[in-house]
Amino acid sequence: MGMFDTVRSSYNLGPGYSKDLQTKDLECLMGEYWIDPKGNLYEIDYSHTQDFTTDFSHYKWNGNHGKVRPVYFSGSVEVYPAKWDCYYAPFPSCFIHFHSGTITKVTHNDKRQRTF
């Protein structure tokens, strides 16, 4: 499948799109994004929140919190559910259209078939 970004949405995108979503239309670097209830897009940054032990065998939380930054993206992003167990049904996807980081339109494209 390759690398993708995770989008968590608090905005109502329709049935089946309430959990974690994936996309390859943003940075495609395993980034995490959040859409707030008003439809604004944010990037979640967890860098510098964990430290490795001296032998590098594991890491621990260091007390720092992640950062949430607004993303002023304009364009279309295709998202699809991160987990889809209904193999007999078409694999759903939808296009979220943004202007300056705010949703302007959501278009559902449920005719796409899942390929293995």
Q: Answer yes or no: are the C-beta atoms of 13 and 36 closer than 8 Å.
A: no
Q: How many residues does the chain have?
A: 116
pLDDT digit string (tens) for the chain, length 116 residues: 567 888 888 898 887 777 788 788 777 666 788 899 999 999 888 776 666 666 666 666 666 677 788 989 899 988 888 776 666 666 788 899 999 989 999 988 755 444 43
User: Considering the entire predicted model, what is its pTM?
Assistant: 0.73
65: its two tokens: 């919190």
Q: Answer yes or no: are the C-beta atoms of 61 and 49 closer than 8 Å.
A: yes
